[in-house]
């Protein structure tokens, strides 16, 4: 495990100034940049030893790192001095005082001296080129196939993890497609800086123009023969004028233009609203509105009052969009964490473009019973983080409900919990790597993010950390990024950066219950402590990937502009509810990897790049994919397992799917054979007609233009078609719940369920479900049932069933293949995956 805890970088980016005793250089200062210390660097410039005093004198030595972890060079300071009017008679020599150099450094560090030079000239990485090629190919194919067929608009999804480089790659797609008018819409206005910086700094986009709210450049002033990128939020561009009910006056031009492409950034916020609410609800109404989009009740591109020729969707966690079949395979480009780390590992030669992307390591801890018992709740007596860290009171008066137990937890992660010390003695002195006691971790975790359940718990934690008994934590500056005082959205970021000062020398702990978990980059964060419940992998990994942001120093030797020195090689996720953490790992790796492989293969690949270390109270070890899935499914009762087959995600009842059903006589006839499906034709037709009518009414008029009677009518129509849609959904789910009954009755575990239905037990399948195998395959082909999720559900069913097949040490299925929905694993392959190695 030694490679999971690398040595801390010793880099210290520094701007220095020195004087020389040579008569021609009197009154001048030479200003340079180094990472090895000014004395050593200047000494290298005077290699010849002379008797007497040194011919030079170090006049100034200052950090070249900003609060946000980025660095600046001596060239930036040179430019600031020139702009201030100081003479630069030769190379890096300036006629100025030490205080003048100090002022220039402060100006550059604070961003007062801005360079609009295009200083970025990097090419696309292989996966970025692949995304551009696949997307462009699909758009052109769509246009060719749909020429003259109404106003169908091609849609494409980039399922790309954070740090993929979506802004830069989207611009490269626009360049390849020859687009001149690009509109970027987002639910997260905080990402504006990334879109603007990539456009203004990279040489590939010279002459392109960026329009933003309250910016100097407007559409009227922009050059119409050059590409224009307009960035805005859904809240602004789709919001309504409160007086007139129409489009906001300053945004009318956006609705008039026919855009070449509309890009939906952070798309999961539009298709994932209940999860966004879960993420921000602890912060209160203002943060929820900012996170979701104030005044945007729901997102529906069909009634978007903006015209375009292409749609591009960008998201790091598009779980719902993928699971619902909203995009088919040819409309999706996938780039996962596993893809990224595999590319990093397999890169041949120098200049590996993935070097700066840190490897993630998860460490999970089973909290000692003495501490956890007070917060063990739920059906399976699970440890409840929200209960454990529950708090009352405001700011300085905030206090934990279980103050003594939380103090013991602080002692635990510090390595000073007495019961743990006794346990360590029994283990022969082998201590588990606790975040703030293990020397390797302590050296790397100068800046951490603690994700807590509520605003009160954030303040309670700050108050407790400041107590005399926690003297160790007094070396860390504590920042509460929670509540109204911290600011809304990205406004909470500056205090965090300010507290870091020079992040290579400072130590901070940032406490939050939602703020700064999406859409922001804090380079110095190296670890995140998950101290709250999270029911969804979206929330969990949106927060976890905050610590994976690259932290490098460019041009470390001052002479190699394309060279980077990596400061952060590994980052860490610490979780104190192991069962929950491993369920998230299993869910995330299975749902985002859309390849038709077994869940165990997906998890095995994921944890090969994101190692998981688990401390069970006595020892810490790296765990395999099979152990993760065992833990993730342990404690699952048969009733809960059956409940997976009642999931709404297993069936699709959107208008597009229902329309395909209506158009296929065989499919409708098949459904009619199932009990309870009589009259389905009329129900589906009514759902489609009423939902389309409601969309049209909302498209034609906004709320302020409608009469009370019209609003009531629309509301009634909505209730009716939603009720019918739910009725159809429930009927389809009722059918899906019969599949596990069929699996109980058949004994062909080694064959795929598809083979069992079509070749071995078609008669049994029809008796149990009411469908022939041909009928079922037809419904799956029409996307009525989500085969990918069925594959996952079948796998978990068989895994749960394993324990009942072994009696008195005899397994009558030993050595057999394991059959899923449409694939099988050999015993050797399964065994290899259990050990997390290749067969």
Element (H, E) at 696: helix 680-700
Structural domains in the chain, CATH included, are 2-109 (no CATH), 126-335 (3.40.50.300), 355-635 (3.40.50.300), 637-651+737-839 (no CATH)
pLDDT of residue 839: 29
pLDDT of residue 463: 97
* pLDDT tens per residue across span 348-370: 888 888 888 899 999 988 777 77
Q: Which two tokens stand for residue 650?
A: 């297993």
- What region does 823 belong to: left with phi over 0, alpha with psi -120 to 50, or beta? beta
* pLDDT tens per residue across span 683-719: 666 766 777 776 777 666 665 566 777 777 777 777 7
Q: What is the mean pLDDT of residues 555-584?
A: 79
Query: HEC string of 134-196?
Result: HHHHHHHHHHHHCCCCCCCCCEEEEEECCCCCHHHHHHHHHHHHCCCEEEEEECCHHHHHHHH
Q: What is the mean pLDDT of residues 629-639?
A: 52
Kindly indicate the confidence band of residue 832, based on its pLDDT and cuts at 50, 70 and 90: very low
- What region does 679 belong to: left with phi over 0, alpha with psi -120 to 50, or beta? left
Query: From the centroid of its chain, how far is CA 720?
Result: 37
Q: Which long-range contacts (CB under 8 A, 24 or more apart) does 480-485 make?
A: 480/511, 481/510, 481/511, 481/512, 481/515, 481/516, 482/282, 482/283, 482/452, 482/455, 482/458, 482/511, 482/512, 482/513, 482/514, 482/515, 483/283, 483/284, 483/455, 483/458, 483/459, 484/284, 484/286, 485/395
Element (H, E) at 744: helix 738-745
Residue pair 334/545 in contact (Cβ under 8 Å)? The answer is no
Residue pair 509/479 in contact (Cβ under 8 Å)? The answer is yes
Q: In whole angstroms, give the CA distance from residue 594 to residue 591.
A: 7
* pLDDT tens per residue across span 403-420: 999 999 999 899 877 665
Q: Which two tokens stand for residue 540?
A: 């969990």
Environment class of 515 (CB within 10 Å of its CB; exposed 0-12, middle 13-18, buried 19+): buried
Q: In whole angstroms, give the CA distance from residue 282 to residue 453.
A: 7
Q: What is the mean pLDDT of residues 797-806?
A: 53
pLDDT for residue 440 is more than 50: yes
pLDDT of residue 516: 86
pLDDT for residue 77 is more than 80: yes
Q: In whole angstroms, give the CA distance from residue 708 to residue 565.
A: 64
**Cα–Cα distances in angstroms (integers) from residue 138 to residues 173, 180, 497, in the given order:** 12, 19, 42
pLDDT of residue 134: 96
3-state secondary structure of 244: coil
- Given 3-state DSSP classes, what are the helix, strand and coil percentages for the chain, each rounded to the nearest 5? 50, 15, 35
* pLDDT tens per residue across span 754-788: 666 666 676 777 777 777 777 777 777 777 776 66
Closest CA to 262 of 186, 176, 316: 186
Residue pair 824/751 in contact (Cβ under 8 Å)? The answer is yes
pLDDT of residue 753: 64
Q: In whole angstroms, give the CA distance from residue 165 to residue 722.
A: 39
Residue pair 458/480 in contact (Cβ under 8 Å)? The answer is yes
Closest CA to 589 of 604, 609, 573, 603: 603
pLDDT for residue 564 is more than 50: yes
Strands 447-451 and 527-530 turn out to be: parallel
Instruction: Cite the DSSP H helix spans in 383-536.
Output: 385-388, 403-414, 418-426, 439-444, 455-465, 493-500
Sign of the torsion formed by the C-alpha atoms of 335, 339, 341 and 345:
negative
pLDDT for residue 639 is more than 60: no
Q: In whole angstroms, give the CA distance from residue 624 to residue 604.
A: 7
Instruction: Cite the DSSP H helix spans in 214-272.
Output: 234-237, 252-256
Q: Which two tokens stand for residue 218?
A: 């407007």
Range name among 433-447, 512-526, 563-577, 644-658 with the lowest pLDDT average: 644-658
Q: What's the order of all strands across the beta sheet hosting 29-34? A: 56-63, 14-20, 29-34, 93-95, 87-90
**Cα–Cα distances in angstroms (integers) from residue 368 to residues 377, 382, 421, 505, in the given order:** 16, 13, 12, 34
Query: What letters, b where the CB count within 10 A reaches 16 and e where it falls short, cover 407-436?
Result: bbbbbbbbbebeebeebeeeeeeeebbbbb
* pLDDT tens per residue across span 373-408: 676 654 444 578 888 999 999 999 999 999 999 999
Instruction: Cite the DSSP H helix spans in 364-465.
Output: 369-372, 385-388, 403-414, 418-426, 439-444, 455-465
pLDDT of residue 641: 47
Q: Which residue shows structure tokens 């701007």?
A: 15
- How many of the other CB atoms lie within 10 Å of CB of 179? 18
Per DSSP, the residues of 77-110 read HHHHHHHTT-EEEETTEEE--HHHHHHHHHHHHT
Sign of the torsion formed by the C-alpha atoms of 158, 159, 164 and 165:
positive
Q: In whole angstroms, give the CA distance from residue 389 to residue 453.
A: 7
* pLDDT tens per residue across span 31-75: 999 888 888 888 888 877 667 778 889 999 999 888 888 888 888
pLDDT for residue 347 is more than 70: yes
Closest CA to 832 of 600, 596, 613, 589: 600
Element (H, E) at 796: helix 787-801
Global pTM reads 0.69
Q: Which residue shows structure tokens 């971790």?
A: 441
Query: HEC string of 537-562?
Result: HHHHHHHHHHHHCCCEEECCCCCCCC
Residue 816 DSSP code: -
pLDDT for residue 527 is more than 90: yes
pLDDT of residue 377: 54
Maximum average pLDDT range among 154-163, 247-256, 645-654, 805-814: 154-163
Kindly indicate the confidence band of residue 531, based on its pLDDT and cuts at 50, 70 and 90: very high
- Which residues have CB under 8 Å from 97's CB, separation 6+? 29
In the chain, pLDDT over 90 holds for what percent of residues? Answer: 23
3-state secondary structure of 236: helix
Q: In whole angstroms, give the CA distance from residue 310 to residue 261.
A: 5
- Which residues have CB under 8 Å from 103's CB, separation 6+? none
- Which residues have CB under 8 Å from 231's CB, separation 6+? 184, 186, 192, 195, 196, 210, 211, 212
Strands 155-160 and 311-315 turn out to be: parallel
Q: In whole angstroms, give the CA distance from residue 213 to residue 215.
A: 5
pLDDT of residue 760: 62
Residue pair 527/571 in contact (Cβ under 8 Å)? The answer is yes
């Amino acid at each position: 495990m030694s490679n999971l805890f690398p040595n801390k970088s010793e880099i210290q980016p520094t701007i220095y100034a020195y004087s020389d005793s040579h008569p021609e250089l009197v009154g001048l200062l030479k200003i340079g940049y180094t990472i090895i210390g000014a004395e050593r660097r200047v000494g290298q410039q005077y290699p010849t030893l002379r008797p007497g005093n040194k011919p030079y004198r170090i006049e100034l030595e200052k950090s070249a790192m900003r609060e946000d972890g980025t660095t600046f060079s001596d060239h930036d300071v040179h430019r600031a001095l020139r702009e201030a009017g100081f003479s630069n008679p030769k190379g890096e020599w300036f006629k100025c005082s030490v205080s003048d150099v100090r002022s220039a450094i402060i100006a550059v560090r604070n961003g007062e001296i801005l360079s609009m030079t295009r200083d970025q000239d990097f090419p696309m990485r292989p996966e970025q080129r692949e995304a551009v090629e696949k997307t462009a190919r699909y758009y052109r194919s769509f246009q060719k196939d749909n020429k003259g067929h109404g106003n169908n608009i091609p849609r494409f999804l980039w399922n790309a993890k954070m740090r993929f480089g979506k802004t830069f790659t989207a611009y490269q797609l626009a360049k390849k497609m020859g687009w001149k008018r690009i509109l970027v819409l987002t639910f997260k206005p905080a990402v504006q800086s990334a879109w603007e910086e990539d456009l203004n700094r990279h040489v590939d986009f010279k002459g392109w123009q960026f329009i933003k709210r309250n910016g100097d450049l407007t559409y009227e002033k922009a050059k119409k023969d050059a590409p224009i990128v307009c960035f805005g939020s859904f809240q602004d561009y789709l919001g309504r004028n409160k007086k007139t009910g129409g489009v906001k006056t300053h945004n009318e031009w956006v609705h008039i233009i026919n855009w070449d492409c509309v890009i939906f950034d952070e798309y999961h916020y539009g298709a994932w609203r209940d999860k966004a609410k879960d993420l921000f609800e602890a912060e209160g109404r203002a943060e929820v509105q900012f996170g979701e989009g104030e005044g945007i009740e729901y997102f529906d591109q069909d009634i978007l009052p903006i015209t375009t020729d292409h749609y591009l969707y960008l998201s790091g966690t598009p779980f719902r969009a993928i699971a619902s079949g909203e995009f088919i395979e040819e409309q999706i480009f996938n780039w996962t964490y596993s893809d990224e780390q595999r590319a990093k590992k397999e890169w041949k030669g120098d200049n590996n473009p993935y070097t700066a992307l840190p490897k993630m390591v998860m460490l999970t801890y089973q909290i000692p019973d003495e501490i956890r018992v007070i917060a063990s709740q739920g059906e399976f007596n699970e440890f409840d983080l929200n209960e454990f860290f529950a708090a009352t009171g405001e700011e300085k008066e905030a206090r934990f409900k279980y103050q003594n137990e939380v103090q013991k937890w602080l002692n635990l992660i510090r390595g000073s919990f007495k019961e743990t010390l006794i346990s360590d003695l029994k283990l022969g002195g082998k201590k588990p790597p606790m975040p703030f006691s293990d020397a390797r971790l302590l050296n790397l975790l100068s800046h951490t993010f603690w994700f807590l359940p509520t605003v009160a718990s954030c303040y309670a934690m700050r108050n407790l950390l400041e107590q005399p008994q926690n003297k160790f934590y007094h070396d860390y500056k504590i920042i509460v990024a929670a509540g109204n005082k911290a600011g809304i959205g990205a406004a909470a970021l500056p205090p965090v950066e300010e507290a870091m000062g020079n992040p290579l020398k400072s130590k901070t702990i940032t406490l939050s219950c939602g703020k700064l978990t999406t859409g922001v980059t804090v380079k110095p964060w190296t670890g995140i402590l998950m101290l709250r419940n999270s029911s969804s992998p979206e929330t969990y990994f949106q927060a976890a990937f905050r610590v994976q942001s690259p932290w490098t120093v460019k041009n470390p030797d001052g002479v190699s502009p394309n060279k980077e020195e990596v400061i952060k090689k590994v980052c860490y996720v610490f979780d104190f509810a192991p069962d929950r953490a491993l369920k998230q790992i299993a869910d995330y790796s299975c749902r985002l990897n859309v390849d038709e492989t077994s869940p165990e293969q997906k998890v095995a690949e994921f944890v090969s790049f994101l190692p998981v270390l688990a401390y069970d109270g006595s020892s810490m070890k790296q765990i395999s994919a099979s152990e993760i899935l065992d833990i993730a499914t342990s404690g699952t009762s048969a009733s809960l397992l059956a409940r997976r087959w009642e999931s709404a995600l297993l069936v699709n009842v959107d208008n597009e799917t229902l329309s395909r059903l209506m158009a296929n006589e065989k499919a409708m006839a098949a459904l009619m054979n199932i009990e309870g499906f009589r009259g389905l034709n009329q129900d589906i037709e009514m759902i489609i007609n009423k939902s389309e009518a409601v969309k049209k009414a909302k498209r034609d008029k906004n709320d302020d233009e409608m009469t009370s009677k019209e609003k009531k009518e629309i509301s009634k129509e909505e209730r009716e078609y939603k009720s019918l849609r739910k009725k159809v959904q429930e009927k389809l789910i009722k059918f899906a719940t019969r599949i596990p009954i069929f699996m109980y009755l058949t004994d062909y575990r080694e064959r795929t369920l598809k083979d069992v239905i079509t070749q071995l037990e078609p008669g049994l399948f029809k008796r149990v479900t009411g469908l022939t195998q041909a009928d079922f395959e037809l419904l799956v082909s029409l996307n009525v049932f989500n085969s990918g999720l069925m594959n996952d559900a079948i796998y978990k069913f068989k895994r749960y069933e394993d324990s009942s097949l072994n009696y008195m040490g005899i397994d009558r299925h030993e050595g057999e293949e394991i059959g899923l929905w449409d694939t099988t694993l050999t015993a050797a392959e399964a065994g290899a995956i259990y050990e997390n190695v290749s067969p």
